[in-house]
Amino acid sequence: MTGSIQRARGASDALQALVDALAAELERSVVLDDDLVRMICTSRHYGDEDPVRIRTLLQGLADAEVIRHVLAQGVMRWPRPGFLAGRDDLGLLPRYCVPLRERGHLLGVLMVVAPDGRLTDTETAAIERATRGVAAQMYAEQVSAEEACGGQGRLLEGLLGSDGVERSTARGLLLDQGLLPDRAHCVVSTVLVAAPSMPPGQVTAALRGALEAHAHTRTARGLLTVGADRAVLLQTFEREPRPEELAVQSRCVLGALATFLGERVNAVVGIGGRRAGLAAAWVSAEQSRVAARAARRLPHLERVGDWDALGEFAVLMQLPEHALTESLVPGPLRRLLDDPATQRLEETLLCFLENGGSAPKTAEALNLHRTSLYYRLRQIQEITGLDLDSGVNRLLLHLGLRIRELVAGSEPLRVS
């Protein structure tokens, strides 16, 4: 996967000076946001601040609902500047918005607070002059940052790749350059997004925005690579992260993607196994890809697969995608499953197998009299032709039910 380490957002002195100069000339509040409507820098107030502006300054980030609203208006796709209408329920005053582009690249948006929804020709001319300089400065800074970070992206891909020599070399360079500490524990997470109707670059920007905050936290140090429809996050920890911590992180990532791309975005997260040190990070990376496949296939995972919690699915999900079809379900089990009248028997069989073939435990779990249970088990044996006292037969049926669950799950996420 090609990609680069995504830099942290931040305003240079040059950008701040350009925003301050424009605000002073207009005597209006001005804010510069990135392409995900996250604040890069802002001017001082000119008596036109609204609740959205105040909350953003206090939090460092606009509310998710405000971000969704702005993106839903298509501001980033506007071919020319225009007014964004106010929203009283959000505490949002009208803003004059200028999408910033340079050499075909969308960089962000400059917003000028305009409470009455009007600007004079002199003011719009001043904004046009200023935004040319802002866009040029932003582009130059982004190119410089991407050139500096491109080597880091290649090192991370080498560290997580299949070649042992490249992994060793990449690890040494990452440590020598102080880019990543070799802590006691590491985890790799893979995020996949299928959004074929999105404009080019929008998914990449959303992935960057959803994940970059997790690269450096109070407990984790890491690196991030982002591509057109997927991202990989490597994190290192002094203590092993608890499963619930990684689950919460993954939910935050999915929530951010929904904010940036819309609630119907088709995204999943795969969490690799916890490994000891950077030398084993590639194993966690491979496991995270398997876990992401499981998250696509198994609705009960709710779009987050954790390798350490997959159980037998961790093995089954390593079958090639084209092989996961009904043909893998054993014939004796298909005879049972193909009859709609046997759904009760299917549920009984699954409960029996998950209780280790124990009739007392199964009867208790199903709240069923043992005589009724034994009658059902005899029916299952007659239909399948398999003796349920045989461990081999029980294994065959249990694997068959698991495979059927994979095949019957949601359609695979289509990513390139």
- C-alpha 93/C-alpha 55 separation (Å) is 13
Q: How many domains does the chain have?
A: 3
Buried b (16+ CB within 10 A) or exposed e, 216-225: eeeebbbbbb
- SS3 letters for the chain? CCCEECCCCCCCHHHHHHHHHHHHHHCCCEEEEECCCCEEEECCCCCCCCHHHHHHHHHCCCCHHHHHHHHHCCHHHCCCCEEECCEHHHCECCEEEEEEEECCEEEEEEEEECCCCCCCHHHHHHHHHHHHHHHHHHHHHHHHHHHHHHHHHHHHHHHCCCCHHHHHHHHHHHHHCCCCCCCCEEEEEEEEEECCCCCCCHHHHHHHHHHHHHCECCCEEEEEEECCCEEEEEEEECCCCCHHHHHHHHHHHHHHHHHHHCCCCEEEEEECCCECCHHHHHHHHHHHHHHHHHHHHCHHHCCEEEHHHCCCHHHHCCCCHHHCCHHHCCHHHHHHHCCHHHHHHHHHHHHHHHCCCCHHHHHHHHCCCHHHHHHHHHHHHHHHCCCCCCHHHHHHHHHHHHHHHHHHCCCCCCCC
Q: What is the CATH number of the domain that holds 230?
A: 3.30.70.270
- Beta-bridged to residue 111, according to DSSP, are 31, 97
Q: What is the CATH number of the domain that holds 388?
A: 1.10.10.2840
Co-location of 27 and 120 in the same domain: yes
β-strands 230-237, 266-271: how paired?
unpaired
Write down the pLDDT at residue 197.
77
Angle at 148 between CA 144 and CA 152, to 5 degrees: 150
**Is 174 within a domain?**
no
Phi, psi of 10 (to 5 degrees): 175, 145
Write down the pLDDT at residue 8.
32
Q: Which of 318, 345, 364 is the last residue in one of the domains?
A: 318
What domain range includes position 383?
322-408
Q: Is the pTM of this model over 0.85?
A: no
Which residue in this structure is represented by tokens 């003796």?
A: 387
Amino acid residing at 141: E
Residue 98: count other Cβ atoms within 10 Å of its Cβ. Answer: 24
Write down the pLDDT at residue 323.
83
Co-location of 33 and 47 in the same domain: yes
Instruction: Report the candidate in 380, 415, 411 with the shortest Cα–Cα distance to residue 198.
Output: 415
Phi, psi of 263 (to 5 degrees): -65, -25
Output the tens digit of pLDDT for each of the chain's 416 residues: 333 333 235 568 999 999 999 999 999 999 999 999 999 999 999 999 999 999 998 888 888 999 999 999 999 999 999 999 999 999 999 999 999 999 888 999 999 999 999 999 999 999 999 999 999 999 988 887 776 666 788 899 999 999 999 999 999 999 998 889 999 999 999 999 987 777 767 898 899 999 999 999 999 999 999 988 999 999 999 999 999 999 999 999 999 999 999 887 899 999 999 999 999 999 999 999 999 999 999 999 999 999 999 998 999 998 888 888 888 899 999 999 887 778 889 999 999 999 999 999 999 999 999 999 999 999 999 999 999 999 999 999 999 999 988 887 655 444 43
Write down the pLDDT at residue 3.
36
Co-location of 329 and 312 in the same domain: no
**Is 133 within a domain?**
yes
- C-alpha 141/C-alpha 147 separation (Å) is 10
Co-location of 263 and 332 in the same domain: no
**Is 172 within a domain?**
no
Q: Which of 298, 318, 338 is the last residue in one of the domains?
A: 318
**Is 381 within a domain?**
yes
- C-alpha 283/C-alpha 185 separation (Å) is 13
Write down the pLDDT at residue 34.
92
Q: Which of 146, 172, 200 is the last residue in one of the domains?
A: 146
Co-location of 31 and 116 in the same domain: yes
**Is 156 within a domain?**
no
Give yes or no for a contact between 279 and 171, defined as CB atoms under 8 angstroms apart: yes
Task: Give the total residue count for the chain.
Answer: 416
**Is 173 within a domain?**
no
